[in-house]
Amino acid sequence: SVGNPLEGKALVGPLIDKAAFDNMQKALKEAEAHGGKVTGGARVENGHPDAYYVHPALVEMPSQVSPVTEETFAPILYVMKYSDFDEALELHNAVGAGLSSSIFTRDLEESERFLGVDGSDCGIANVN
């Protein structure tokens, strides 16, 4: 849930400020302009006008274009279709800077490749 992480069971806290909120909304509008389908991302009103709580956004993109390749520091998950693991890995590593990455797979070989030298180029790589 979205809310104050110091109170209760909230998993998503606020964005740092209005500029971060505006940047998130700009990224979502840009994604839509590139054919993306946006679900979520709206502000959560909670009686604190200076607190920028938002619903996380899930964005289905037709291709890897801006803003997918830019970090917005907001709760946005971009999703793209791919034909095989090699293409997925190529898309994954095509961004300029990757802080963390994850793979959800039942295939042990894919998970080993993802964690290996030719896999994820992010600082943190996770397997689930």
Each residue of 70-81: pLDDT tens digit? 888 999 999 999
Q: Is 0.75 topped by the overall pTM?
A: yes
Residue type, 26: K
Strand partners, 60: 37, 79
- Say whether 12 sits in a helix, a strand or coil: strand
Q: Which of 6-15, 35-44, 53-62, 110-119 is least confident?
A: 6-15
Question: Which of left, alpha, beta for 8 (phi over 0: left; psi -120 to 50: alpha)?
Answer: left
pLDDT at 59: 98
Q: What Å distances lie between residue 68 and 6, 31, 76, CA to CA?
A: 31, 8, 9
What is the per-residue pLDDT across 90-120, written as a single tens digit (0 to 9) for each? Answer: 999 988 777 889 999 999 999 999 999 999 9
